[in-house]
Amino acid sequence: MKPSMTIKFLLALTALVALGACSNHDGNEWERLVCEVESVNAGTPLMSVYLSPGDDKEVGTADDEYPIDWVPVLFRARPYSSSMVMPEDGPQTTFTVTSYDLIWHPIGNAPAELTDYNVTRGLTAAIVPVFEDAACQVLIADRVMKEEPWYRALFNTPGSSFTANCELIFYGHESGSSREVAIPTGFMVTFYGVGIVE
């Protein structure tokens, strides 16, 4: 091969490698076993309240509740392609969800301090067999958040509320592999001072 052709070949090879490095093949959709979020909170937004008045629907009585907000997350695993044969209980046929990030995105009049409650690498556990569902629960708002002045202000100002997007990114790997992948999802949360928690 002539020197000029060798240089051209090496340049072309370098360009192909660089192109491959820039493409997003690290996402969940490129795995042999794909784990997806089927639903968060059964597909509905979350109503987060400072106080729930209980069965009598009246504030200031003995059955008042001060709830903590958890949401169920349902996962499902499937082969990358419908043409792949992946027997149940075979090697590399389960996906293990190990952790998550929770990132708040305030909307409109929502307080910026909400982002103080972002979570990085919170631990969770769900084992998702191929062709099956598995669930876990994620803590969205605890009493520490709800006792913040900006949250308690909703209780002190009847009829007020604010809304935020809650971005969730789950992390995990298929059985027999240490390669970690990310599974992004999210849902909306509206915050109130008083509301009925079903």
Residue 57: predicted pLDDT: 74
Beta bridge partners, 170, equal: 100, 183
Q: How many CB atoms lie within 10 A of CB 176?
A: 11
Provide CATH code, domain 26-194: 2.60.40
CA angle, residues 103, 96, 177, in degrees to nearest 5: 115
Higher pLDDT, 7 or 87: 87
Amino acid present at 90: G
Q: Is the pLDDT of residue 81 over 90?
A: no
pTM: 0.80
Pair type for strands 181-194 and 161-174: antiparallel
2-51 pLDDT, tens digit per residue, is 555 554 444 444 443 344 434 344 566 566 789 999 999 999 999 999 99
CA–CA separation, 28 and 31 (whole Å) = 6
